[in-house]
Structure 1
Amino acid sequence: MYWCKVAQTEKEFDAIAQLNYETFVEEIPQHEPNTMKRKVDRFHQENTYLVVYKGTELIGMLAFRDQRPFSIDEKIGEVEQYLPKEICTKLCEIRLLAVKKQYRTGRVLLRLTQALNAFAYEKGYSAAVISGTTREEKLYKQMGFTQFAPAVGTAEAMFLPMVLTRQQFEQSLQQKLAQESYTFYPGPVKQQGAILYSDISHRSQAFQSLYGYMRSKLLELSNAKYIATLVGTGTLANEVMLGQLKAQKMGHGLILTNGEFGERLHKQAERWSLDFDVVTHEWGSAFNLRSLEALLQTGSYQWLLMVHGETSTGTCNDLEGILQLVKHYNVKLCVDCISSFGAMPFSLAECYLSTAVSGKALGALSGLSFVFSQELVEPSTTIPAYLDLANYQQGAIPSTLPAVLIGNVVDALQAYPARYSQLQQHFEALLQLPFMDYRLPTIAYPMILTIQCPRKLINLSTDLKLNGLYVHGDSEYLRKRNFIQLSIIQPDFEFALGRLSELLTYYEQTVDV
């Protein structure tokens, strides 16, 4: 198996110095020999090395750098004097492309080039420059580079200043470098079939039948009495839920937070100018039911708002335990179930209001959200009609609902209830992978798992991306805590898991954890 990563260990840096020596001292006489048979690049501290492995053997490398002056600047002067101004807005340099002789195949070069694309393209560089040895001119041209200045060097080590512009890359190379990829995102969910336009009117009888089936199936899964279907994300559904607390003048409330999405609910509630207190716990920690009961005993609260599945940590908050408390003290429970609904069976029958979406655990397209309720509400004159829950209850369709989204949810619902056990199996399989000892110690649920990366795994998310495996780790709140997350809801999870397992098995042997 050929795979790539960003070099980070002393063992890797030693292998790089050895390969650098073999290539640029012994094969291409660019530097003086030494008894150590190692050549450490003079820009070593500024270089990012992308390396390619076969199994656990480091067999190739290249160095990436975007600090000036470039190595090529020192050979020919600033490269801008030779290049059009429009491609010089953000330059980078690629150097030290080297592969062990016995592995110089198109497949190895392809993997290294694919990794470079995954690493650098999204950073927005306008062009990449290299000083390529004349011995490998054909190889560089295959990578899309073209010469832009006269050759430099000695007869034994002649180099060509070459450039690859972003436009050239996008037009001639990017599609060729596309590699099979898998995602472990908690949404959106990859759709296996084509999504076709539907001309079914949302006022037609055919639509009413499709819509009615979706609603009845969702009510069956939730055990709720009523459901409102909205065109929008989970944030919209939560706005509708909070808007009802405002419109009904529900009184003083309590918001529980132990993660990013609990905190987001708190901020939304502030925008609605609701009257509430906040109980804040450490991210990933369980709510203290004894402390919560002591608060509810005061009789100060009429409603309580919480997140069930806290996506930011993969924490499943104790819905049943909190529900028993609020029932005892006659407090209405409002729950964000956006991440948890469809991941495991639970009842919303006794929740006053709760929210869910199409594009998470249910496995459908993003674009629809749902508000479940225990009772019908009166129309409001104080909140916008689009956010008025009464407009959507009892199957009302106050505005356009795309039939293609409704149909897609109906298709996804065919997987239930069997999908519950499938997701549980996925979750248990995920727990068998290397590095699961670093998972966040929290009460998890079969939708997403969070790893808190130690220093030696700090590049894991990037390294997986170099190999076409995308984990959830780009959000600011995840980067801040060195969290990466793996969700199990994608339809090709079994294939993705196999590839991930193989790569992590080798990865574990190359990092010092």
Structure 2
Amino acid sequence: MYWSKVATTEQEFDAIAALNYETFVEEIPQHEQNADKRLVDKFHAENTYVVVYKHTEIIGMVAIRDQRPFSIDQKIGAVEGHLDEALCKYLCEIRLLAVKKAYRNGRVFTKLATAIYRYFYDKGYTACVISGTVRQEKLYTDMGYKQFAPAVGAKEARFLPMVLTRKDSAVFRERLREKNAVFYPGPVALENEMGQSVLSHRSVQFEHELTQMKQGLCQVTKAQCVIPMLGSGTLANDAMLGQLKSDFPESRGLFLSNGEFGNRLIKQAEQWNLMFDAIDFGWGQPFLLEKIEQQLQTSSYHYLVFVHSETSNSVMNPLEQLAELATRYGAVLCADCVSSFGAVDFSMEHVHYATASSGKALGTIAGLAFVFCKEAPKQSEVPLYLNLPYYVEKNIPFTLPHFFVKAVNEALQAYPERFQVLQKRAELVRNADLPIVASSPIIATLQHEDIPKIIETCELNGFYLHSDSSYLKARQSAQISTIQPTFERDFKKLVELFSTIVKTL
């Protein structure tokens, strides 16, 4: 297995010095020989080294540096004298591109090139310059570099000043995007290209497809009614909370939380000026049903609100038990099912209101929000766009793009078999040799003391874990979702890469 990494250890730096000597002393005579057969670059302390491994052996490298003067400045003068001003806003230099002789094949050079594109682009450089050896001109040209000044150097070691622009790098990155392995919990990659549709949302055909979509959604969830809206799951939650304010204007509710999205629900409820109490069980901690029942006994609550699948920490909260508790104490149950909908085969039959969206486990494009109802709401004082009874009355009150409805109908054809597919994927994750601290049917949370380095290395190799959210960064965590279409293929490679990375830390 070939893979790339930013060098961080003394063992890696020693291997770099050995490869540097082999290439730029013994092969290209730029420096004097020495007994140690090691060459430490004069800019070593300022270099960032990207290396290519074969399993646990370093076989290729490149150095990236953005401190001036560049080595190429000393050969041709300041590069700004040869390049457009726009390219010079944030420059770096790439040097010491080297590959062991036994591994000079297309795969290794491709690994180096793709690592350069990803690192250079993600750091925000406007361009990078390089002194490319004349004999490797085609290689650099194929990588997107262009000569911008006359060749320099002695005859036996002649170099071409070349530049890779951010624009040219973006072209190569776009080609790489199709090869990326993504483990986000949303949005989901689409297996088939989706085109724009000009079918009017006022047409008979659209109304037919919308009815088909609603029936399919209710069949999967066992809900009595569903109201689709143009927006995200957060919009659906706002519409649900606004409806609770109209349904129970003088009544109190109870909110439960054990993660980021439970806390967000509480914040939304505060903005709606709902009257409620809240129980925070702590990050990732299970709901204590006895404590909830004790709280229900202390006051007359008319609604109980919680997040079914708390994706921030991979906890699945107990919908059926909460439904029983709510019924026992005369409250209605309302659930944020944005992450559990389409992932788990559960019934909304006893849930008063539940929310979901199209861009998660359902496996299609994000853009539609759903509010599932046990009974169609009949009155509301909230603004029109969030007014659920108005949606019921008008059926299609506002513009609803046809391609969203079509996409959901196509996704629904995968059910109920998709439930089994996601269940098997969840089992693969739970049984993998990974530092998993919690898992739910669609997402697992990993923790490791070197998780930032692991994430950086995974991304350098085109494997994208869910890790950018602030709540994950604060806890040295990353997550793997099972909802992406190429999960089985990508996950096997990820496990191998993850294991190999850890061995080199």
Asked if Structure 1 and Structure 2 have the same fold, meaning a TM-score greater than 0.5 normalized by the shorter chain, the answer is: yes
Deviations 1:331-388 (A, max 9, x none): 22221100011111112222221101111111122111111122232332x3211101
Indicate the residue corresponding to 1:132 in structure 2.
132
Indicate the residue corresponding to 1:511 in structure 2.
504
Q: Give unmatched runs, 5+ long, in structure 1.
A: none
SS in 1 for 2:446: strand
Whether 2:461 is the aligned partner of 1:467: answer yes
Whether 2:179 is the aligned partner of 1:180: answer yes
Supply the distance in 1 between the matched residues of 2:468 and 2:27 (Cα, whole angstroms). 41
Task: Look up the equivalent residue of 1:336 and give its one-letter code.
Answer: D
SS in 2 for 1:458: helix
Change beyond 3 A, Cα 1:34–1:179: farther
Change beyond 3 A, Cα 1:59–1:203: same
* 1:477 equivalent among 457, 471, 479: 471
SS in 1 for 2:298: coil
Supply the distance in 1 between the matched residues of 2:136 and 2:195 (Cα, whole angstroms). 47
Change beyond 3 A, Cα 1:421–1:302: same
Alignment check: 8 A CA contact 2:145 2:162 kept? yes
Task: Look up the equivalent residue of 2:383 and give its one-letter code.
Answer: P
Tell me by how many angstroms 1:62 deviates.
0.7
Tell me by how many angstroms 1:402 deviates.
2.3
Tell me by how many angstroms 1:170 deviates.
4.6
Alignment check: 8 A CA contact 1:258 1:281 kept? yes
Change beyond 3 A, Cα 1:479–1:45: farther
Change beyond 3 A, Cα 1:85–1:409: same
Alignment check: 8 A CA contact 2:56 2:504 kept? no
Task: Look up the equivalent residue of 1:498 and give its one-letter code.
Answer: K
Tell me by how many angstroms 1:237 deviates.
0.3
Indicate the residue corresponding to 1:85 in structure 2.
85
Indicate the residue corresponding to 1:372 in structure 2.
372
Alignment check: 8 A CA contact 1:258 1:284 kept? yes
Alignment check: 8 A CA contact 1:110 1:177 kept? no
Supply the distance in 2 between the matched residues of 1:41 and 1:292 (Cα, whole angstroms). 64
Task: Look up the equivalent residue of 2:210 and give its one-letter code.
Answer: Y
SS in 1 for 2:466: coil
Task: Look up the equivalent residue of 2:386 and give its one-letter code.
Answer: L
> TM-score scaled by structure 1?
0.90
Show the 5 A alignment for 1:344-423: 344-380=344-380, 382-393=381-392, 396-423=395-422
SS in 2 for 1:426: helix
Tell me by how many angstroms 1:101 deviates.
1.0
Supply the distance in 1 between the matched residues of 2:241 and 2:340 (Cα, whole angstroms). 19
Tell me by how many angstroms 1:259 deviates.
1.8
Indicate the residue corresponding to 2:328 in structure 1.
328
Tell me by how many angstroms 1:306 deviates.
1.4
Alignment check: 8 A CA contact 2:129 2:164 kept? yes
Task: Look up the equivalent residue of 1:247 and give its one-letter code.
Answer: S
Deviations 1:453-499 (A, max 9, x none): 322x4322222222222221222332232222111112222222233
SS in 2 for 1:236: helix
Q: Give unmatched runs, 5+ long, in structure 2.
A: none
Supply the distance in 2 between the matched residues of 1:394 and 1:423 (Cα, whole angstroms). 36
Change beyond 3 A, Cα 1:453–1:43: farther
Supply the distance in 2 between the matched residues of 1:433 and 1:45 (Cα, whole angstroms). 38
Deviations 1:285-321 (A, max 9, x none): 2122222222221115332221111111221112223
Task: Look up the equivalent residue of 2:193 and give its one-letter code.
Answer: A
SS in 1 for 2:342: coil
Change beyond 3 A, Cα 1:18–1:399: same
Indicate the residue corresponding to 1:301 in structure 2.
301
Tell me by how many angstroms 1:150 deviates.
5.3
Tell me by how many angstroms 1:505 deviates.
4.7
> TM-score scaled by structure 2?
0.92
Show the 5 A alignment for 1:113-512: 113-149=113-149, 157-170=157-170, 173=172, 180-248=179-247, 249=249, 251-380=251-380, 382-393=381-392, 396-434=395-433, 436=434, 438-440=435-437, 442=438, 444-455=439-450, 457-508=451-502, 510-512=503-505
Change beyond 3 A, Cα 1:289–1:189: same
Show the 5 A alignment for 1:16-95: 16-95=16-95
